[in-house]
Structure 1
């Protein structure tokens, strides 16, 4: 049987950051599964002997998982494969090495890391993976994902007359988009609004929307601490065809058209989604969006006779 090079690849995380990977090759014959068994059996001896190569960028563990979620990571190892003249259809086993110790949770294929496979429990189902649903023909349909995860429910509540609940979910949507864009830091909400949403025609500011968000989500009222302290104007949603409405009394909250705010945030989300054509930014999106939950990512367990029935 013809022998060919197969590789143990190691991603070295030192103090929480990977700057290098290592490659150790074996000349092996047989089918791919036999080669992989041999590679796995040699992980302990190979990781310290592997030739090291620099990554083109650094990775945290979360960023590396995002890279695996987005696509195959073979391209990051091209220098090593070229150095050893690897076959075109290269067989390799990749293992993280954390502070000198080979570490892994479970074995997965070398293709994109998909959550519906990892969460699968035989006979019970799995958690849907948004990348499976919204990546089609190498294109990530982010605007469609946002519509399904947020704007469908926002519009459903609005059209059913549940306007306060619709406003709450709209604020929660901005929270999520701001977190994905900027991380969990102070000012991310207003920074996202200022960058992507034109609030001027509605007659309100990003800071006023932020204080509205604080009061309506936490207490379902219109008086956040900053409003009570007189530092920010209180705003109040109204429903109607008028684009703007005058403030009838300076002691009352400033009115704004909730429907127009909903449209403005939706338009801003569309502009924001277009910025994720950049691959590096896409990796950060996956890293952060993977930590959120939605109606579309609820496990649909197959029931058994012992499962209790729940009725409301």
Structure 2
């Protein structure tokens, strides 16, 4: 069947931000595979001859009115493949869901390395060097935890991170369990706020009710520092008397925080329940699609051992 097909180029001159796109149209007969093969062979020629340039659609821009190459790839991961180029497609009066190839032009060089069908969500298997001989393939978490438009974030956090925390706790490796838990808070705080100062404390203050344990987020952060670095209770700020010295206590649920021999002992069991409730509140905040995109962009950097 004869139809109009398109080569689209998204230009990333600094290697970070996509500034605009170009589009070249062709009328072709044949099946879809033949048409896509033709577009692939035309990339160099079409890039050189491209004269139709358009802005990126505002719907995919960040708060600074920019689109990074990383955020563009995140849009592909949730199936938002056409949105960045809607202005270009409207300008050439393209039909809905046209047959096309999108190729990034990064620092004036065509990037061929990702072979991604536009009608599919971008996954690990579309990227180069996905399979390393003799090494277990890392499954793409979105294959399991993104179904349709629903992102199962709580289950992802539980499977990737909370299961080891619970396993160590149930085996009575309490210090190791708490170490993993505060490391998880680090991870969640990064997912929420990025790599900024006090994100650990900010997440606890925003989503948790640790004040019920008569402790503060700063005090928990000092315990985190001393345990992860030295497996003791003596962070630098605690030694300088800037914060109270905290330690976990293994008690039945509801046992109150106690002060003994200059150490504040809070109930680890209660802390786990408070943390779980905080995660629920945090997950509920991800109804906004742009916020979800930011989380997926950052979670793509998180190391996983859930093979």
The TM-score normalised by the length of structure 1 is 0.89
Q: Does 1:161 pair with 2:172?
A: yes
RMSD: 1.8
2:122 matches 1:113: yes
Q: CA deviation at 1:64?
A: 1.5
Task: Look up the match of 1:205.
Answer: 216
- For structure 2, the 5+ residue unaligned runs are none
Alignment CA distance shift 1:217-1:200 (3 Å): same
CA contact (8 A) 2:115 2:126 kept: no
Equivalents in 2 of 1:294, 1:101: separation in Å? 32
1:1-312 → structure 2 map (5 Å cutoff) = 2-15=1-14, 16-48=16-48, 49-55=50-56, 56=58, 57=61, 58-110=66-118, 111-118=120-127, 119-120=130-131, 126-241=137-252, 242-249=254-261, 252-296=262-306, 298=307
Q: Deviation of residue 80 (structure 1)?
A: 2.2
Alpha-carbon displacement from aligned partner over 1:170-202 (angstroms, at most 9, x marks no partner): 001001001111111211111111111111111
| Aligned residues between the structures | 294
SS of residue matched to 1:190: helix
In structure 2, do the counterparts of structure 1 residues 50 and 33 end up closer, same or farther at CA, with 3 Å as the change threshold?
farther
Structure 1 counterpart SS, 2:34: helix
Q: Deviations over 1:240-278 (max 9, x none)?
A: 1243133133xx211111111111112111211122221
Using the TM superposition, name which of 223-232 and 273-282 deviates more: 273-282
| DSSP 3-state at the match of 1:247 | strand
Distance 1:188 1:194 in 2: 10
Give the CA deviation at 1:153.
1.4
**Structure 1 unaligned blocks of 5 or more:** 299-312
CA change 1:50–1:271 in 2 (3 A) is: farther
The answer to whether the Cα contact below 8 Å between 1:197 and 1:267 also exists between their aligned partners in 2 is yes
- Taking structure 2 as the reference length, the TM-score comes to 0.90
